[in-house]
Chains A and B, each alone.
Chain A
Amino acid sequence: MSDTMKHPRHWRSLDELAEASLDTALAAGPEMAAAQSADGAAEMTVDGVSRRQFIALMGASTALAGAGLEGCIRKPVEHILPFANRPEYLVPGKPVFYASSYQLGATVAGVVVENQDGRPTKIEGNPDHPASLGAASSFAQASVLGFYDPERSRTPWHKDAAISWDAAWAAFEEGIAPARASGGEGLALVVDSVMSPTHRAQLAELKRTLPKARIVLSDRLWPAQAVAGAALAAGPKAVAVPSLADAKVIVVLDGDVLVSEGDSTRHARDFATGRAVDVPKPDMNRLYVVGPVFDATAAMADHRLRVRASEVGTVLRGLVLALLDTPGVGSAPGADGLKGALGTPALDEKRAAFVKALARDMVARKGQAVVMTGERQPAWVHALAHVANSLVGADGKTVSWRRDSDALEGQSLSELKAGLDDGSVKTVVVLGANPVYDAAGDLGFAASLAKASFVAHAGLYRDETGAVAHLHLPLAHYLEAWGDVRSQSGVASLVQPLIAPLYGSPSSIELTARVATGQATPGYDIVRAFWAKAQGGSLDERAWRRWLHSGLIDVPVGGEAVTPSYGELAAKIPAAAPAADGFEAVFALDSRILDGRFANNGWLQELPDTITKLTWDNAALMSAKTAGSLGVTPGQMVRVKTAAGELELPAWVAPGVAENTVILPLGFGRKNLGSVAASAGFDVYPLTSSASAGFSAATVVKGAGFYDLAVTQTHDRMEPGFDYPARPLVREATIDHFREEPRFVEKAEIMAAEKIRSPFKSPEFKAPQQWGMSIDLNACTGCNACTMACNAENNIPVVGKAQVLKGREMHWIRIDRYYVGNEPDEPQAVVQPVGCQQCETAPCETVCPVAATTHSPDGLNDMAYNRCVGTRYCANNCPFKVRRFNFFNFNLDIDPVAQMQKNPDVTIRFRGVMEKCTYCTQRISEAKIAAKVAGTDVVADGTIQTACQQTCPTGAIVFGDVLDPNSRVSRQKASPRNYVMLRELNLVPRTSYLARIRNPNPELV
């Protein structure tokens, strides 16, 4: 980590985002935008920039620097990086880092964005932000690719014709002026999750000035059920924020809370910290997961109860009843009255034993237990979970309550539809949402929207809604817009642009201001004005700069104290019903593209799901037994029918899924979005119903034909079809076993250490520092953030579904997933990140005929791309199969805009060349150079972070000098759990693993 990383610099020269930026840099596209950023250098790398264009750009830059030459083609807009008068701190080729914030639904994360010569290229977590703690999710990592997506909307569209911004604004004004004139009569503003205090204030103001206007919330990532559940427990706008930091008994009800749902980055960190066993007095937390989906969170569970989605509530009823019966349980206001409402849940022996043991465990760890509920479950389940939390004294400890006082109370899409149908809504302005695609299937929203007389849509893509809107406007990406966000826990942070808008697009807050006033107001002014007002009228410039610097707005969180009470809850709990027969369809956010917003992001499409290892598609996931009873094999089509609609999609056998349940990941089957999303998967939204968002009853029958699903593990037929001895690649033990036998990892070795001898001398490594890595499998959740960070850092190409089907994916670090256990449908799972192990006696090196891969003095297995002729012998001889070959020229046709994402410190590999993980050798070199300049040849521990390590939410990956006994990596490697894969081959890998420890409840073993 460089100095700039520790102390992210903020922009000094970006003073105002003039409205001119909205008006001028339009159809001209990236060149214009680049000229605005005066960042000619970045654009010069673009193919096809002629000398003439070059001169023109330079001229524009000079003109900008000349400040305000009247009569120019464009008015001088704010200068972000005026090259003619280079800022003192800007060294070409040396990245600078800016703090910003990233929002996904209601989840907010602080990020630090790496800026290479004026181009944002890489996202890191902001170490100062409590929701990121330096880590970034795979979504945040991939968002930078989305920013440069060449298929993002670039120009406004009016009725199927691209138009200029001037014409677009005229049409926009014409469309909404009547509504504005009549106090918002017939106007509906559809927004996605609004976590921006500024935007919330704007919308509140809009409601005041245009009282008849409706504000509609449409966002699949908005935790509507959690919000409703919290409201049932503690009144409107109440928010319950769980924290795993001190939680010792964690119960997750049907939700992927460690990877893809909600504040997963923070939860994963806290969860992993709570599982530390190499500490003086280890007190491991225990994770219970109840639900139908076998996702990454379920794979981390110490105990998993496989139940159908509709039975999760039943189990929770049983748990609350069991808690009430458990001696020593705490009390919750109004909880006693619930007993009647809970009825007698139908739990079989196994489930009854589970809830009983769980209740005892929770009560034993009163104040340290927490129940978390996934968004698929209805509000009453969330509320009932809060009852359980209150009963075990979680409130104020593992669950903090606050009142989100400025929370937006938007109408639902059903209400909007009713308005459209009865003619009370005529004008619809959609900001960032895409209801035509993701509205519940039974709403028939598209048909209703067609009745509106004017529909304006602003979005990153001209998506399904944009295509039917009368007017489509490109929306600014968060990397090119001003803004702010406040997390559910109340932490506010700023969003600052890293580059002038590529296509001159406005942001949501700028558009909202347009709706309200008809005038263009720069987002910068809007945000500053809001915070000036919030600060009592004036904004201290020093404070503003401090906020920009750290990304965090250090104002008190405030808000009234909230205590839940459950007196009214009984009425909201449905009568206990026996489990229904038949199939259930569970609508899950896809672990990669979520609700479909990342459908055109190649990195995420090609990212294998942690558990299923599916890429580029979704499928109806079902258990082996269910597949057997349906008579389908993986890839065979099944027809799923719900009350809302029906659909044929391929089946995939996913061990661990509840019986008679199909898991249908959302977000696929996009039409006309872009070439990446084009043929990826099947749209399951038409099967969803507005009444029950997360799951519904369904019928499933075998369909006709097969479909090729690209998976990165079990490519094709992997299993040889006979039993073979297990291989000790991932090692694990229970905590008790670990206590009895701390060196249990040694027992798994195929060959005793003293028997491993070599007739050859060990190679000598003469550098003063020797790099190594340790990966803690006890912490790794398999969230894929490392793979994504590696993609961004190392310019790893996307190869496409056809190539993945052939087994040619390029990821340098992959997550291996192995199921554990003998029952195919009640598995546990372990995950293991595998990158190049940097063997000291690397087998790849001896076999390369041209010496293209050799060892560096500091112990790295280097790869000289220029020397490689591509015999692939190295990959054959690599027992870890981490080498990746460029079978085609995957980097041949990179769009000029997409080229801007590439990391200039890493070579783009040509076809026919082998590539692999380098421990981010460019980062090592940078740190070593910095150390040399500072007069030492030793890099301080922790200065170098590999990309995977830096972004890892759980801190599972540690990198450093293995010669220094006090380095973090050495200390981690000193753990008794430390082992290397395939030790019997005597390769002496520099990457070692720490075995996973499970913490089962003795009562349930």
Chain B
Amino acid sequence: MAQRLEMDPVSGRAPLILGGTSFDGLTEAVAAPMERTDWRKWWMAFAFSLSLLGLLLVSISWLVWEGIGIWGLNNPVGWGWAIVNFVFWVGIGHAGTLISAILFLFRQNWRTSINRSAEAMTIFAVMCALIFPGIHVGRVWMAYYLFPIPNQMAMWPNFRSPLLWDVFAVGTYFTVSLLFWYVGLLPDLATMRDRATTRARKIGYGIFALGWRGSHRHWQHYEIAYMILAGLATPLVLSVHTIVSFDFAVSQLPGWHTTIFPPYFVAGAIFSGFAMVLTLLIPARVIFDLKHIITIKHLENMAKIILLTGSLVGYAYAMEFFIAWYSGNPTESFAFVNRAFGPYAWAYWIMVSCNVITPQLIWFEKVRQSPMILFILSIFVNIGMWFERFVITVTSLANDFLPSSWGYFRPTIWDLTTFIGSFGLFFTMFCLFVRFLPMVALAEVKTVLPEANPHYEPPDDHGGDSDTLAAAEVSHA
């Protein structure tokens, strides 16, 4: 590829942003699509997402009105799609936090092109996730019992229950992610405010920009706040899914009660999250003409993480089987043999094919560099990771200790509509995001341009560009 040979004149490495884009060009590339007037395609996408969101609301209303029985749950299988969807969505969120926090701390500059959308994805995924534990309880109107609210009964929730830990873990995660995202947005919101051509935009962005003027003090505080939040978010990447995995690991059900769950869940979460980032960004970079910002290299990097985490997940699958056998515990080994060969074998093999076999294709450079193949592959991973949670949740419950109580879970139409509806919420939020907020972190991405480096010298033009100066200050800070 010709472009790749063109090195960054300062670092001597391949440039992260292609096409010799200037600061202004970047701003234009990201902000202009939000300011255009022809939104017909967007409206179509939005209407579609909104109708799915409506489906979610209908499903939830019917659920609250009629009862949990509208789902396919039964006596042995007390948790079904709701919990599967919850873990699925929480897991997806993890990629965003990993990209924005961990990769930030590790100075992985390539993250700047994708962190904004990945973080947005995190927020929306966690919103989707939060719905499910809320609605899956039998008496939704009493769900506040889960919160440690002082009350006349002098009753605390049960702090020994992993479900309670979940409440705290996911709640914290959502709060920190939202703050982190918002702080990162501030300079860009100000840019949007300054570019605004309508009064509504001016006021709207103005309010949310919190009076950002790009002063040195602002930048200094911003950088510190961003760093602290990145530091806070980093452990959450590990802790949230660890605690979600405790929902299973702390119980004594064969197939749930495993010490490998925390790392296994975290790896799985990052795996699924990156797949979802690919699913979203591969079309977006085409639609919004951001191919020079979200480059093949970005996709390739993400694909490599998918390969790594996918292999970790595959290792965990194998290790579960080994330990089940090695433990000598007959119910434990039964649970795993049953997964692979029992009534749910179909689900298990879907999971294995999607999660273990498919990612191995990423070893091939051609696959890594083909957005189309990566897109398809990411869909496979999404499916596989949903099935992973299904296999863990449902197969373990359906066939546990007493064969007399074994059952089989069959989803109903309402299981399906609730799940599809949650995508409605996700895409509705994403549609609003791409319309009103810069999809790429402008302020951050500018810092990785060669021009932002103090040692950068424009090849022919020595004129002091104000954008260059501002960015240079950023990198000093």
Contact = CB atoms under 8 A, between A and B. Distances in A.
Interface in B406-447: 406-408, 410
Contact of A887 (B69, B146, B400, B406): B69
B158 A877 contact: no
B342 A721 contact: yes
Given A721-B341, A876-B251, A913 B138 contact: yes
A422 to B, nearest CB: 57
Interface in A845-882: 846-851, 867-873, 875-877, 879-881
Given A718-B406, A870-B139, A910-B139, A847 B74 contact: no
A724 interface: yes
Nearest to B339: A720
B330 A851 contact: no
Nearest to B71: A887
Interface string A876-897: 1101110011111100000000
Interface string B155-171: 11110111110010000
B67 A889 contact: yes
Interface in B343-362: 343
B397 A869 contact: no
B338 interface: yes
Given A715-B407, A846-B161, A849-B146, A881 B76 contact: yes
B334 A725 contact: yes
Contacts of A718: 399, 403, 406-408
Interface in B61-79: 66-69, 72-79
Nearest to B68: A887
A850 B401 contact: no
Interface stretch (A185-193, A226-234, A354-362, A801-809): A801-809
A236 interface: no
Interface residues of A, number: 60
Contact of B406 (A715, A809, A871): A715
A873 B330 CA distance: 24
Interface in B194-227: none
Given A721-B342, A888-B69, A877 B145 contact: no
Interface string B80-121: 000000000000000000000000000000000000000000
A912 B139 contact: yes
B139 A872 contact: no
A42 interface: no
B404 interface: yes
B74 A869 contact: no
Contact of A849 (B77, B78, B163): B163
A750 interface: yes
B79 A876 contact: yes
A403 B389 CA distance: 71
Given A867-B145, A869-B137, A881-B76, A727 B330 contact: yes
B75 A727 contact: no
B139 A847 contact: no
B75 A847 contact: no
Contacts of B410: 716, 806
Contacts of A889: 67
A757 to B, nearest CB: 16
Interface in B247-284: 247, 250-253
A722 B341 contact: yes
Contact of A851 (B76, B158, B253, B337): B158
Nearest to A870: B138
A717 interface: yes
Contacts of B399: 718, 720
A872 B137 CA distance: 8
Contacts of B68: 870, 872, 885, 887, 911-912
Given A729-B402, A849-B161, A877-B252, A803 B407 contact: no
A872 B78 contact: yes
B341 A869 contact: no
B75 A875 contact: yes
Given A724-B334, A846-B160, A818 B403 contact: yes
A982 interface: yes
A914 interface: yes
A806 B72 contact: yes
A816 interface: yes
Residue among A713, A868, A871, A885 facing the most chain B CB atoms (10 A cut-off): A871
B2 interface: no
A872 B341 CA distance: 27
B338 to A, nearest CB: 5
Given A847-B250, A868-B138, 11 more contacts: A714-B406, A720-B341, A724-B338, A727-B403, A729-B403, A816-B402, A848-B158, A871-B163, A881-B405, A887-B68, A912-B137
Interface of B: 66-69, 72-79, 136-140, 142-143, 145-146, 155-158, 160-164, 167, 247, 250-253, 329-331, 334, 337-338, 341-343, 397, 399-408, 410
15 contacts: A716-B410, A724-B337, A727-B330, A806-B410, A808-B69, A808-B74, A818-B403, A849-B163, A869-B142, A875-B75, A877-B251, A877-B253, A880-B401, A881-B405, A911-B68
Interface of A: 713-718, 720-722, 724-725, 727, 729, 750, 803, 806-809, 814, 816-818, 832, 834, 843, 846-851, 867-873, 875-877, 879-881, 884-889, 910-914, 981-982, 984-985
Top 6 closest A-B pairs, CB basis?
A870-B138, A912-B138, A887-B69, A807-B74, A872-B78, A881-B405
